Amino acid sequence: MVVIHHTAMLTAEAALERLCSPDPPVGLPPVSCHYLISESGRLWQMVDEIDRGWHAGQGAWGDVGEVNSHSIGIELANTALHPYPEPQMRTLEALLPGILARWSIPPERVIGHSDMAPHRKSDPGPRFDWRRLARKGLAVWPEDGGAAPVDREQFHADLARIGYRRPEDVDALDDLMLWAFRLRFRSSLAEARTPLDGKDCRIARDIAARYPARDLRGT
């Protein structure tokens, strides 16, 4: 699979230094990714695709509980406070097709960091244009439609079918799962903290039916 991140650092150069540092700041683990894309669209390859990067951390997606060993990580230089610039998005759109072809990765396995770690991550965040990637066949997006009946149990069953994993030891996880789902499929700050609604249920039902998670361990 492919995991998309943001750096949450002021510049791409600062992120590059952190990603290349053999001695991370005290209390922080070593990190690495396969690719870094600057705001201007410059691309750095940090790790060979065949090799393991240290980008995902604790989390899971579908049957994969060790995401670093089964994914390619792409970091986008962004502070999370502004939209992703056009040159950066164009570079990402040029990069992804080759990765997906080389590793037989379908578009539903292009996910955000927040998808596989909803209890601790929010990137690439609500300003990332998932719909744009989906239009190019590089991610997935729900069909247009209205609302479904609000059914919390069915909603969480659909999330599990899509690939979201629910850690057992995290308080208030239902809210975090909903937040992560909305970051991915609704991308609206205005809707971020409202209760589960019929639009959430309809979108989850649609994605679960069309793109259920299968055995992801090979990709």
Q: Which helix (H) or strand (E) holds 186?
A: none
Tokens of 37: 């894309």
- How far is it, in rounded angstroms, from Cα 79 to Cα 136? 25
- Say whether 153 is catalytic: no
Helices (H) and strands (E) in the chain — how many of each? Answer: 7, 5
Q: Which helix (H) or strand (E) holds 197?
A: none
Q: At what angle do helices 198-210 and 173-185 cross, to 10 degrees?
A: 70
Task: Mention every residue, 6+ apart, whose C-beta is less than 8 A from residue 93.
Answer: 132, 133, 136, 138
Q: Which of 39, 49, 75, 108 is catalytic?
A: 75
Q: 3 pairs with which residues across the strands?
A: 73, 111
Task: Mention every residue, 6+ apart, whose C-beta is less than 8 A from residue 22.
Answer: 30
Residue 219, CB-side half-sphere exposure with 13 Å CA sphere: 19
Q: Are the CB atoms for 75 and 54 separated by under 8 Å?
A: no
Which residues are identified as catalytic? 75
